Every structure is written in structure tokens, then in C-alpha cells.
Structure 1
Amino acid sequence: MTRTAVVIRHVAFEDLGILGPLLTEQGYRVRYLDAGVDPIGDGAFGDADLLVVLGGPVGVGDIGRYPYLADEAAAVAAWTGRGLPTLGICLGAQLIAYALGADVVPTGRFEIGYAPLTLTPEGDASVLAGLGDTPVLHWHGDQFAIPDGATRLAETPGFPNQAFAVGDTVLGLQFHLEADHTQIERWLLGHTHELTAHGVDLDRVRTDARRHGGRLTTRARAVLTDWLHRALPAAEPAEA
């Protein structure tokens, strides 16, 4: 059985990363929608089985300058309102939170680089437990509130809301489990102005990607596979 995952992408280099091959292995056909290029409104997701909303350099507060974000949030609200499986990463998680009625605001702080999470007691009982103490990739300055009816799963010292879940079908992650550490240079190039503005040490990000990337990839694949199996019964692996 083949299922379809629709993926909203905001910038080309922030793609599915390690999640792409995993979805293929789990029997999903992937269809990208590029925000600001492809129409994202009623019917844009068709009869997809899964929606993934990826990250990007804009935020919910930029809706006035990038009106397509409002259409995107409305489409996400309609989709989640039907109880359908949804994974949001960074901006994607913020858009899901906004679509569910929670506030999303700039903090005036930033968090860029590899660092561990602290799981809440609910997080320890969730799919995120598989991460253990492995540092994950952070790349954000905005923060979402936890939507009504959602469960807070993780935090860091500067950002108390790092992940939330709504039942088994909606998972919002402020951090990047999908990022392929072997492609980190694309991120460093694509976000060069932001990195320069915040004085981020690029060599430290590179070093940490090499140090933590392999273990994080293994654990992230396990976490995401577990979530997929909870959100939807596992699809049969695709034929070779």
C-alpha cells in the first residue's frame, strides 16, 4: 500500500532531510508544495494521508508581509480540524500552534546550534523519549504557546515550549530532527545573514554536526518512525 505525504517547504535547503528516505521506506509517496509558489488553500492537500510543514526564515508575525502564510495557516487549521496526521517542524510547528489558536511571538532571543532537550514527564512517556540526552539542532528565535488541548513535551533553558502533541496525530517540534548533518553547509550558507547578525560560531556548528549528527540521525529516525506508526498504521514498505 502506498500513502501520500504532502510537504510544505518554505526554502529549498530546508527539505525533508533524513525524513525523506524514511517516508519512502515506510511506503509513502512524497509531494512537495513550495510556499509562495504553489497555491496552498482549500483542496491543496487532496486525499493525502500525512501533512508535514517544514521550517523557514519567516514567522507568523510576518503574515502581513507574506500573505500566503495566512492561507497556509488556514489550510493547516482545516486539516488538523479533521484530526488528520500532521508533523510541524520549527516554523511548521509555529504555524500549527497558530492554526490551533495559540500565540506565536518573537522572543528577542535566539537559539542556533546543537544542544540537548529537557523532556517534561509527558515527554518522557512520548515518542520523544527515544532521543535521550542526544543534542538536537535548534534554529529559531520565535516561540509558540502550547495550544489548548495539546501536551507540552520538551523545553530548553531559554525556550520552555520546545514540542507539543495533540493526541497521536499532531506533533509540533521547535527543533530540527529532520536536518541531515552531512548537509549542514547548505544551512550555513542559506542563513548567512542571520548567523552573522547573531555572531554564531560557524565552526562550532560544523564540529557539533560531525560530533552529534550520526547518533542524532539514528535516534531521530526511530522517533519519527514511532510517531508515524502511532499517527497512522504503518504502510507497507515500497517495493525495490
Structure 2
Amino acid sequence: MEMHKNLFKAALKSGTQQLGMWNTIPGLAVPEMLAGAGFDWVLIDTEHTPVDMAEIVTALQAIGQYPNVSALVRPVANDPVVIKRLLDVGAQTLLVPMVDTPEQAAAAVAATRYPPEGVRGMGLTTRAAGFGRVANYVQAAATEICVIVQVESVTALNNLDAIAATPGVDAVFIGPSDLSASMGHPGNPGHPDVQATIDTAFARLHAMGVPTGIISLDPEAAKRYLAAGVGFVAVGIDLAVLRQNIDALRAQF
């Protein structure tokens, strides 16, 4: 049995832009519905949601029915135990939150690597290893694992170049909401100072040849990011889309 190929990581390397959606509603139906909508990727968020490990497996299975759609997972924290469990159940692309220093970036990478390169614990009968059917999983797992670090504070921006240059970091994602709070504009990621800071960060990363990502619920801003060369952009959150459409429906009566 061959290991599952990470299409998202391959697209990052080739420079292909990818459009995505954020999944925050637990269960099977919503991630399956999002995956069938034609997006390139769906992120299963566990940082700001009640999604538990069993539901992550269900979501991965639901998204996996669509072979051209990649599943990303955001851990609750940059924790090697949490990351180990996510990798074991089959997550291949992780968006690691709150990375402020190159040391934290290196720790995130180490959590995805088996010794001696890292600290990931051995589990050879896991879902990721085809329940033991992928003969070379231990040797080849790192080639298909994608580590995205989330930069979302002034401290992180001050360390941006070193974070992005950390071996094993595949991409840098700018978190606009927490960045806006860190800059003194909580709840206002569209503030001109925040947007100018994000644009500068992307310019620095692109000059380094580092793939980039962001989330924007403003379609015009999302289009601007794509035009600027941002590699992967989330354009919606399931709960936000649901709320907006429910409110619009109610307003008609």
C-alpha cells in the first residue's frame, strides 16, 4: 500500500494558488458538503471549536471522498502530543497557531518528524500508516507532511525572516484577526495599518521564496491577496456563511 500523496504540499511547491474554506462545525455533513463545493482545500479547525479527535477522523474521511480536495487541520496549540495524535489519525497538513519565534517554529517541525530528526512518537498501526500496510511510512512520512506556521503577532512579525527560514517550515500563514489585536486594533483586521503590515509581510516572504496564506471573509480583499501572489487563501467560514444567509433570509420577512 502506498502512502497518500499530499496534493496541497505539491501545489505549494509548484506555486499553484489554492482556494479554501474553514470548517468549524463538528460532524460529517458540513466538511463533506464543503469538500464537494469545488474548493482546493478545507481546513478543520480545532483551535476555536469544540471539534474533538473522533470528529477530526470523521471530517478527514468525509473530505477524503474528494480526491482533488486537500484536508488541513489546525491544532489547538503547538503541542507535540496534540500534533502526534493528529498525524497518527491521518492529517498531513497542519496549520500551527501562535508561532512567535524560530524556536517555536522548529518545535512544530520537530513534532512532525520521527527521531533522530524530531520527537514524534512511533505508532506503526495508525490510520496514517494505513493501519500498518504502508511499509515505508516511517522513512517517508516527512516527505508528505506539510507544516504551515501561523504568524499573528507583532513579535512574530519581528521574527518573520527567521521563522520563515526554519528548516521544515513549508509555508507561512498570516493570521489577520490576532495580528490586528496585537497591533492595537482588536476586531478590525481591515484597519489600514494592519493591511499595510500584512502587505509588507507578504512582500518579505515572497522575496524569500516562501509560500504564503491568509484568510479573508471580504471577497474583494481575498481577490487582492490572490492578485498579489498569496499562495492559498481561505474565503469563508462555515458558521459565518450560515449566519449571514440565515440573517438575510430572516430579514426578508
The structure whose Rg is larger is 2
- Higher-helix-fraction structure: 2
- Higher-strand-fraction structure: 1
| Alignment TM-score, normalising by the size of structure 2 | 0.33
| Alignment TM-score, normalising by the size of structure 1 | 0.34
